[in-house]
Amino acid sequence: MEPTEIEEFRKQVEEGGEHNLTYVSLAISVLAVLVAMVTVLGHRTHTEAILQRASSTDQWNEYQAKKNRQHAEFLESNRIAHQSAALTPGEQKDLSGYKEHIKKWDEELPEEEKKAREFDADVTKAEAQASHYDLGEALLEIAVVLTSITLLTRRNHFFYAGLILGLAGLIAAASGFLLH
């Protein structure tokens, strides 16, 4: 376009009442960028929740395995202790070994359980954050659509409704950040 054509186009836009649509287009662009940002945050947080869930499951499995071994050692020590009145030196050694392992696991199991519960808390927090980001994303997407309707209808109430929903989406997403 030549400079004279651009000036003519600008005059036509002003005469047709189209100059306000520049702000609408800018708002749509900003809302679309915000949707993309919140979407990425949501996806990363969902991934974090999945990884935390895997760590939690691994920790609970380790806890359960130690608990099972402790119980098996307990049963074996009881069997040896009740099997005969006079234990051979080898059986006495086995019995004391079993009792040492049982004592060791009595000390370790509460720590293993604590770790597993911490992983569970991390999962809960990540899932809560992801929910906030998902809500923010949905509200921002609706805001983009409502604001876009302004371009078709030339009615400002769609523009303002879109901005209000966009703000609500931003607040929802920001509240996910506050859960950190």
pLDDT tens per residue, range 37-95: 999 999 999 999 999 999 999 999 988 988 888 888 888 777 777 776 677 777 777 77
86 in any annotated domain:
yes
Angle (CA) 159-162-164 rounded to 5° is 110
Q: Once rounded to an integer, what is the mean pLDDT over residues 14-30? A: 77
32 in any annotated domain:
yes
Which domain, by its residues, includes 83?
21-178
Separation of alpha carbons 45 and 36, rounded Å: 14
pLDDT at 9 (0 to 100): 54
Task: Quick: pLDDT tens for 138-178.
Answer: 999 999 999 999 888 888 899 999 999 999 999 999 999 88
pLDDT at 163 (0 to 100): 94
pLDDT at 42 (0 to 100): 95
* Residue 16: other Cβ atoms inside 10 A: 10
10 in any annotated domain:
no
Task: Quick: pLDDT tens for 89-138.
Answer: 777 777 778 778 888 878 888 898 899 999 999 999 999 999 999 999 99
36 in any annotated domain:
yes
133 in any annotated domain:
yes
109 in any annotated domain:
yes
Number of domains in the chain: 1
pLDDT at 173 (0 to 100): 94
CB 133 within 8 A of CB 43: no
